[in-house]
Structure 1
Amino acid sequence: MPAAGHWKQWLMFRNSVSFNTPDPQFNQDVSWYVFRLPFLNFLFGWFFAAIILVTVLTVVAHYLNGGIRTSGPAPRVTPQVKLHLSILLALLAVVKAAQYWLRRYTLTSSTRGFVQGAGYTDVKATLPALNLLILISVAAAVLLIWNVRQRGWRLPVIAVGLWAVVALVAGAIYPAIVQKFRVEPSESKRERPYIQRNIDLTQKAFALDTALTKSVPVEFGEVTTEAVQQGVAALANVRLLDPKQDAIKQAFTQQRRPQGFYEFADLDVDRYVVDGKLQQMVVAARVVADKLPNSSWENTHLAYTHGHGLVAAPASRVASDGRPAYLPEQDNTALGVTRPEIYVGDGMPGSYVVLKSSRAAGEIGPAGPGERYSGNGGVPAGAWFRRLAMALKFGEYNLLGSGLIRSDSQILWMRDVRSRVNKIAPFLALDSDPYPVSAEGRILWVVDGYTTTSHYPYSENADISQLPTSSGLRREFNYVRNSVKAVVDAYDGSVTLYRMDEADPVAAVWDKVFPKLMKSKDDLPAVLRDHLRYPEDLLRVQTAHLGKYHLNQADEFFNSDLRWCVSQDVPAEQSADSATISTIVSSVGVASSASSSTTCSSGDRYVPYYSLFTPPGATKAEFSLIRPFAPFSPDDSLQVLRAFAVGTVGADLMPKLTMYDVQGSLPSGPYTAHLQIQSELSQAFTLEDSKGSKVLFGDMQMVPVGKGLVYVRPVYVKAEGQSAIPDLRYVVVIGNGSLGRGDSLTVALNALFPGAQVVLGDRSGSSGGTTGTTTPTTTPGGTTGPAGGETTVEQLLAAASKLFDEADAALKAGDLGTYQQKVTAARSKVTQAETLLGGSSTTTTIVSVPKPTA
């Protein structure tokens, strides 16, 4: 049994620190289970296997040497051999007794009962059996030593036989009988105290206890016109661009990839101060593509060495053509980036690159050849023996034979940010979504690191079925903390780890093991603090548990009728025909008795989304990660909104989870809202399909407005063809059971709430960075007003609403020409209204990095 793979357990054993939390069965601190017990289990298991191996080899050796005879008149075993074997077998019995003693503590992670942890059968049957087996093992060891002076092996054989019988009867048969005939007939009564232990320690292990203690009750009523007018700030933060939707990624790729050797591995949502106002931005880093135009050795390793810059677009506004209203790049100075090269990034190719080569054209950037690396991120490779070592490492002769490698050349490999962090800190589980940040003129990657263990007593194992396949949390664990932030410089690949959770004992142990590896969170640059966010993988894990672990009492937990399920996921593409959808809509929200299962269905669950979110009753928006819940139903037939979790970053820079418990009459859930959109707009979607276009959906976002709740969802359309650029075609708003839609959030809101007359400026300018204009006319009073006779914002919005109604009528009649004319005229009215209000008639050209908070 190799010991090298257990180095982590040894280091944690040696550097153990206290959790200051005793377990309820043995009153041992949790650190005993997390840091000491795993290594002791390995150690005594190794001893047991080693003694068995030595005993077998000893028997063979003595047999070959004549010490053990199977025939003839002489004694079968000499006294010396008997002494030797008796000592080995006695040692084996003592080690087994120690294993039985340790196994008592592993019962706190038992899965025999209703929940994880020592249940009734474990405590009342298995634990006494283990205590008895300890005594029998020790007795067998004593008899083996005492038998050295006795004739024969009768007593040791009897002891070992008794040991085996007791191990079978008391260790397996008796607990099974107790479970079947004593526990199962009255399971709720027998398991109640042990379920309570599981609830308390699972909540603590997954940091749910504070969120549940401070959960906020909310009640939603009708959305009023006045509330819409007063909620303009919250509504203006609704994202029209969904970074997870392939349509937006395609738009970025088609419009902001200057060369074919670049790609966008991922799109992220962040926030920056734009013209003095905090705004959400969809940000993407241009990295080198895996597939190059010419994948020769020189191109792959010397020419196409790096990505270039960040591309950003306001998340809550689109251009007049429905595509992202990109910020002008101007060599990335708009984002404060003065060092735009990306040599280390998310999803970068795994191969190495040679920097500072003597290639005449240099490295290739967006403007063509001529770029030169001036940093020190690679390993010096100028010396002959270094080149030989690198050639052997990568199996690449060209590193020796190429004449393009200079004396000051460097080799950079491991260019994926997660691989780089994992190599430096292999004890961390890494989040699946690193994100880029513009800070101090450089592009920095932020990676969330988790500390985990699977040995926390009485805590339930995490449900990892909802995690992305790339998540480092796809492992067995029952304790997690987001204790470390890793910051990776995109230019030189340097990695800096910040220990954020000073109360996490697991992080404290690794800080003791590697005292100079992690910096204090106080050392985190101020510019990065404003870009921290609640990790998505952490919220997925926590909300998977919150569905049942929001229940604090064992009886409620056992009955399961008050459980929640994470809301059913809303499809990202159009599906089903209108007749089918109408049937589904009429049935959603009616509980079904077809199944008696006590677990949520295995269907896809709502994907958490980031947003500048204003919670119910609050006036200030926070950058939040949101995930809703529905009441438990085994077939997902109940799709109303029962609760929602909101993750933010607290003033202490730590993840802060808040639960909002919906009371009273429950509003529709996000899946019900999606079905309503599918049903009421099926004709428009069918028309798009008939033209060969594809209808795609963005996030279904919840927006508390006054004492009510509305759902907002952008709808994109991608025309037929690989090179077609998707655009935002509709914005749909659902509130008070009704639906409003338009080509902007402004239009959709005014369609649903005609008296609100709000203007958000969420559709203006163009994707190229220019702005639309409105031609003014002179009114009879001598003032300048918009064309068409309307002179006030109210008149313009009323006219726009009427034009959209006429467009809908033309669409139903199949008159596509009139439909397009009416839509264009309506958009013009909205733009004129925005101009009168001084809305978004100009395009922002400067984005500053957030200012440090006090």
Structure 2
Amino acid sequence: MVTRMRRRRSFSTPFVVLLIIVVAVIIAHIFIDRLYGVKIHSALGYGAVYEKNMWFELATRYLGAALYAAIALFAIRPIQSIVPRPAYRGMQLLLVVIGWFVGFAMWSLNPTAWFLFFNHKPFTYSDPLQHVNAAFYVYNLPLLMGLFGRVIGTLVLWIAVRLMATLAAFVQQQMQITRPGFARLVRSQARGLLLVLGTILVLLAGLTYLNRYETILTSGNGSFVYGPDFVTARLTLPVFSWLHIATLLLTAAAVFWQASHIDDVLPERDGFALPSWRSFRRPIFAFGLYIASLIVTGVIGSLVNTLYVHPNQNTVELPYIKDTIDATRYALGVENVHTMPINPVDNLSAADVASHQDALDNVRVNDQGQTTSIYNQLQSFKNYFTFSNAAVDRYDNKEVYISARQMDVTKLPVQTWVNQTLIYTHGYGIAASPVNRFDANGLPIFWAQNTPQQVTPPIPQITRPQIYFGLMNNNVIAPSKQPEFDYPVGNTQHTSHYKGGYGLPIVGNRLLLAIEQGSLKFYTSDQITNKSEWLFDRNIYQRVEDIAPFLTYDKDAYPFVDQNGHIKWILDAYTETPNIPYAQQFMNTAYIRNSVKVVMDAYTGKTTFYVVDKNDPMLKSLAAAYPSLFTYHIPADIAAHFRYPVDLFQAQADALTRYHMTNPSSFYNQDDLWQVAQQIYNQNQKQARPPVYQMVQMPGQTKPQFVLSELFTPQTKDNLNGWLIADNSPGDYGKLTLYQFPQSSLVFGPMQAENQIDANPFISQELSLWNQQGSHVVRGNLLLIPVGNSLMYVEPVYLVANRSNSLPQLERVIIDYNEKVYMNDSLGAALQDVLNGNTASLSTGGTTGGQTATGTGQSGGQTNQTGQGTTSPSAGNAPSSGTQTLRKMTIQQLITMANNLFEQYQQDTAAGRLDKAGQDLSSLRSVLSTLQSKGGTTGNAIGSAAGNTP
């Protein structure tokens, strides 16, 4: 008796150990999620969102794990009396562990998807075949398919365990003939297996029914129909899908019949339960019909496609092409694009220029990519300060570049925990400059610069220049006993202490932080105070993913300064789904809306999710599921800096290359297929012209608007076909307008303008010369600018020395107008050349243009205290204004200038300033060319210059 009790205890020991382990895992999981996760997300300000998701995940995972462990125990019970007790205990333990982990993995559900399943709003679109609202495809269908799959998977696992038990019983009856009841046990197990198998077949029939809707989400032929085509819509869905369902149900009925006649399936012979193979004819025949229906579907579908659809594709597929056009335009949000004709004329006048003064004063002659490089060279000051890509924004209708000066602790000269975590905790201030102003050296004029921060209107005075949150990836502790570095001041440092924000207080959370971060410094460091906070998720992308992982986020966060002088970040968030019937996918999705703008304070880390599209049904559903997440009231000073996102706009532009054609026949024939226009960029690379933020005053408008634009040309052609504009104004934010150019007359596209620039002998000669003088030419984005009823292209040209850390300097501005090319050293000077008819072969090409009579463009030698460019004479007494060309100078003045330029060339060569020497030679060539055209003697000028050489 004692031995038997010891055995029972030894048998029960594994279950006790397993129970302890399971309980410990549950407690540890809840402890980490509840005490750390909730506190972290509460510090972010959105603990309720996290808790709601957390408790749902815990409940479904552990209930699923417990249920599968119980199922495993119950499934193995029939062999309890067959196998030895120790083996049975071992099998129980193994199956419980397997069931636990399978259940935990299988029931790890997406909480947001289930919240929306029970609480979602309808779309304004229904599929054209079943006439079911798109909400069913977005919210219900994926979860129902997943639920059916999980239930079927559970039953398959049940069958696998029970089949093992049945086979064990069957083998046992062969070994123990004299033991009664084995035949009855085998029949009982077989009946249960058949009942479960029949249930699986019924569920498969239900899954096949749901698959009818899944078929509507197929990509079609992937060419011009992105959904069910003629065969699928007219044969597969209304005929063959029901045949598949019927044959599955017939198979299930045959299996259920076997279960009810188990004595015929396993008749007893000499005490054995042996299968009667003839009884399996019914389910085999029924399942054969199902397989045959699949084959018939493929064969008949192929025959109809080959013999009828393909020869008549241009007519029979038209209804489904129309469905594709409508669905794609709706899903991408381009169904309401306002289309307007535009017919430019070549009658530019001074009055047009004057009436478009505000727009011309915002032309981006400073290139965005080169501006980022300049910021990093002129405004970073230390290796550990860095600027991300300069963003385009506007202040008081002035278009500006802006970028934040952030801390990169990986570049600190001394890499210690104290430096990385306590001292070098934040960036400092911003750099900002107008897009159209530059100094005599071709460098941007700053409206926000330096440390301490110096700001010029229209940029607001910055009251909190420290940047604790932005694009930085390391976690820090602030404040502490250590002063925090702001910026260098001579041999010392200017420091400050963090005043607090959305971080996790260290006092009261040391244990959690020590466990999570794997560090005892939260206990051992004597630098931590009662006010110290653990600043985590300092990268805006990480922060928003932690708060709202169910949104999709753009990758172009940008800073701005609000009316209170706080630096903040804006990030675009999208609601999206691929489950829109007939919609072609762009950006790896079908439906997409920029419904949310995320704004994060760079000092405190406070993050706000502002709703900008209240009509988005997906946003309405999310707001119902998470009512505390979204904010609907948007302050005016924040809305003034919203921009239409480039990625979404690019996807819409790519779609409109085809989907501007709304006639199914035209869409099928692709007789008006467009492409995104191309340009020459950087060092003569041909590339697709990216969307451009710019201030433009379109024909018929009375003031300039800050827009995002893209240009279209015909496929394989270069003439201009379309111009897509997205308005960024608070009142008209997101309004899309497609300007269509006449197809019966030629309007030059970007590449035709680029070809004209390259074909101009004077410009080509200048660019070639600069590329040979220890420097290279960099070309900026080609901009299309409307002035009155005329259009012109503007392209900046930079000169960069062929050495590391060289500054890109704006050297020339090129205008292409009315199939002629003009080049000068500022937009104003080049525009004056356009009005005067001075093409690039006659214009100075090397004068220093300042504030012209038109007021457009700005260069000049020095910068006054307000940041406005002022003109100053150039070397050789060149004209101080771009309005005065070399042709207006006397021969003697030209000779004097040539002498001065030659002397300047010698000085620059001696000093090793080869890039400037190249510019001197270029200017000298222009002077000599003009002198020769005036009848002067080039040889005399050269001789005079040589005579003045020391």
* TM-score (norm. length: structure 2): 0.75
What residue number does 2:431 align with? 311
What residue number does 2:651 align with? 541
CA distance in 1, matches of 2:229, 2:896: 67
What residue number does 1:10 align with? 114
Instruction: Determine if contact 2:673/2:715 at 8 Å carries over to the other structure.
Output: yes
Instruction: Indicate yes or no: 2:684 matched with 1:560.
Output: no
Pairing of 1:528-607 with structure 2 (within 5 A): 528-574=638-684, 604-607=687-690
Instruction: Indicate yes or no: 2:799 matched with 1:677.
Output: no
Distance 1:819 1:82, change over 3 A: closer
What residue number does 1:511 align with? 623
CA distance in 2, matches of 1:242, 1:125: 57
- Comparing 414-423 with 737-746, greater Cα deviation is found at 414-423
Which residue identity lines up with residue 359 of structure 2 in the other structure? A
CA distance in 1, matches of 2:736, 2:667: 22
Question: What secondary structure, in the 3-state scheme, does the structure 2 residue paired with 1:436 have?
Answer: strand
Which residue identity lines up with residue 404 of structure 2 in the other structure? A
Percent of matched pairs sharing the same residue: 28
Match of 2:612 among 500, 516, 521: 500
Question: What secondary structure, in the 3-state scheme, does the structure 2 residue paired with 1:713 have?
Answer: strand
Match of 1:28 among 119, 127, 132: 132
Instruction: Indicate yes or no: 2:734 matched with 1:658.
Output: no
Question: What secondary structure, in the 3-state scheme, does the structure 2 residue paired with 1:703 have?
Answer: strand
Question: What secondary structure, in the 3-state scheme, does the structure 2 residue paired with 1:241 have?
Answer: coil
Distance 1:792 1:171, change over 3 A: closer
Question: What secondary structure, in the 3-state scheme, does the structure 1 residue paired with 2:413 have?
Answer: coil
Q: Tell me the alpha carbon deviations over residues 482-503 of structure 1, each in whole angstroms, 9 at most, x when there is no partner.
A: 1001110100111100121111
Instruction: Indicate yes or no: 2:709 matched with 1:626.
Output: yes
Instruction: Indicate yes or no: 2:475 matched with 1:363.
Output: no
Question: What secondary structure, in the 3-state scheme, does the structure 2 residue paired with 1:35 have?
Answer: helix
Instruction: Determine if contact 2:699/2:786 at 8 Å carries over to the other structure.
Output: yes
CA distance in 2, matches of 1:100, 1:528: 50
Distance 1:80 1:67, change over 3 A: farther
Which residue identity lines up with residue 617 of structure 1 in the other structure? G
Match of 2:772 among 690, 700, 705: 690
The count of residues paired between Structure 1 and Structure 2 equals 757
Instruction: Determine if contact 1:34/1:455 at 8 Å carries over to the other structure.
Output: yes
Match of 1:378 among 487, 490, 503: 503
Q: How much has 1:823 moved relative to structure 2?
A: 8.1
Q: How much has 1:691 moved relative to structure 2?
A: 1.5
Distance 1:801 1:112, change over 3 A: farther
Q: Tell me the alpha carbon deviations over residues 681-723 of structure 1, each in whole angstroms, 9 at most, x when there is no partner.
A: 2221221221121211222110112222100011111113223
- Comparing 223-232 with 608-617, greater Cα deviation is found at 223-232
Instruction: Determine if contact 1:694/1:719 at 8 Å carries over to the other structure.
Output: yes
Question: What secondary structure, in the 3-state scheme, does the structure 1 residue paired with 2:307 have?
Answer: helix
CA distance in 2, matches of 1:160, 1:175: 23
Distance 1:322 1:69, change over 3 A: farther
CA distance in 1, matches of 2:928, 2:725: 40
Match of 1:283 among 391, 398, 402: 402
What residue number does 1:611 align with? 694
Structure 1: 5+ residue runs without aligned partners?
Answer: 465-475, 576-602, 777-786, 827-854
Q: Tell me the alpha carbon deviations over residues 519-538 of structure 1, each in whole angstroms, 9 at most, x when there is no partner.
A: 11xx1111112111111111
What residue number does 2:336 align with? 210
Instruction: Indicate yes or no: 2:261 matched with 1:138.
Output: no
Distance 1:643 1:328, change over 3 A: closer
CA distance in 2, matches of 1:789, 1:819: 13
Distance 1:317 1:668, change over 3 A: same
Match of 1:344 among 469, 491, 494: 469
Instruction: Determine if contact 2:709/2:724 at 8 Å carries over to the other structure.
Output: yes
Distance 1:789 1:377, change over 3 A: closer
Match of 2:722 among 633, 640, 643: 643
Pairing of 1:223-372 with structure 2 (within 5 A): 223-226=347-350, 227-243=352-368, 245=369, 247-273=370-396, 278-289=397-408, 290-327=410-447, 329=449, 331-334=453-456, 335-336=459-460, 337-345=462-470, 347-348=471-472, 350-359=473-482, 361-367=483-489, 368-372=493-497
What residue number does 1:435 align with? 558
Q: Tell me the alpha carbon deviations over residues 154-187 of structure 1, each in whole angstroms, 9 at most, x when there is no partner.
A: 2543344324423531443433333333322322
Instruction: Determine if contact 1:121/1:179 at 8 Å carries over to the other structure.
Output: yes
Instruction: Determine if contact 2:878/2:897 at 8 Å carries over to the other structure.
Output: no
CA distance in 1, matches of 2:612, 2:285: 56
CA distance in 2, matches of 1:298, 1:217: 63
Q: How much has 1:807 moved relative to structure 2?
A: 9.6
What residue number does 2:854 align with? 758
What residue number does 1:83 align with? 191
CA distance in 2, matches of 1:183, 1:68: 61
CA distance in 1, matches of 2:709, 2:722: 11
* TM-score (norm. length: structure 1): 0.83
Q: Tell me the alpha carbon deviations over residues 449-493 of structure 1, each in whole angstroms, 9 at most, x when there is no partner.
A: 11000101111111x3xxxxxxxxxxx310000100111010011
Larger relative helix fraction = 2
Pairing of 1:736-775 with structure 2 (within 5 A): 736-754=818-836, 758-764=854-860, 766=862
Structure 2: 5+ residue runs without aligned partners?
Answer: 1-104, 266-278, 839-852, 906-916, 930-950
What residue number does 2:151 align with? 47
Taking only aligned residues, the RMSD between alpha carbons, in angstroms, comes to 3.3
What residue number does 1:420 align with? 543
Instruction: Determine if contact 1:628/1:643 at 8 Å carries over to the other structure.
Output: yes
Instruction: Determine if contact 2:251/2:283 at 8 Å carries over to the other structure.
Output: no
Instruction: Determine if contact 1:63/1:69 at 8 Å carries over to the other structure.
Output: no
CA distance in 1, matches of 2:897, 2:185: 103
Question: What secondary structure, in the 3-state scheme, does the structure 1 residue paired with 2:194 have?
Answer: helix
What residue number does 1:599 align with? none
Pairing of 1:451-462 with structure 2 (within 5 A): 451-462=575-586
Which residue identity lines up with residue 201 of structure 1 in the other structure? A
Distance 1:67 1:54, change over 3 A: farther
Question: What secondary structure, in the 3-state scheme, does the structure 1 residue paired with 2:785 have?
Answer: strand
CA distance in 2, matches of 1:432, 1:389: 32
Q: Tell me the alpha carbon deviations over residues 541-566 of structure 1, each in whole angstroms, 9 at most, x when there is no partner.
A: 11111110111111111101211111
CA distance in 1, matches of 2:313, 2:825: 57
CA distance in 1, matches of 2:715, 2:630: 42
What residue number does 2:4 align with? none
What residue number does 1:472 align with? none
Which residue identity lines up with residue 654 of structure 2 in the other structure? A
What residue number does 2:34 align with? none
Instruction: Determine if contact 2:898/2:928 at 8 Å carries over to the other structure.
Output: no
Distance 1:801 1:166, change over 3 A: farther
Question: What secondary structure, in the 3-state scheme, does the structure 1 residue paired with 2:688 have?
Answer: coil
What residue number does 1:830 align with? none
Q: How much has 1:353 moved relative to structure 2?
A: 0.6
Instruction: Indicate yes or no: 2:637 matched with 1:527.
Output: yes
Which residue identity lines up with residue 303 of structure 2 in the other structure? I
Question: What secondary structure, in the 3-state scheme, does the structure 1 residue paired with 2:147 have?
Answer: helix
CA distance in 2, matches of 1:264, 1:172: 59
Instruction: Determine if contact 1:501/1:654 at 8 Å carries over to the other structure.
Output: no
Q: How much has 1:314 moved relative to structure 2?
A: 1.0
Q: How much has 1:265 moved relative to structure 2?
A: 1.2
CA distance in 1, matches of 2:895, 2:141: 70
What residue number does 1:115 align with? 225
Highest Rg: 1 or 2? 2
Q: Tell me the alpha carbon deviations over residues 99-145 of structure 1, each in whole angstroms, 9 at most, x when there is no partner.
A: 11111111222223342111112112321211111112222222222
Distance 1:822 1:158, change over 3 A: closer
Question: What secondary structure, in the 3-state scheme, does the structure 1 residue paired with 2:561 have?
Answer: strand
Pairing of 1:129-208 with structure 2 (within 5 A): 129-150=240-261, 151-152=264-265, 153-208=279-334
- Comparing 8-17 with 446-455, greater Cα deviation is found at 8-17
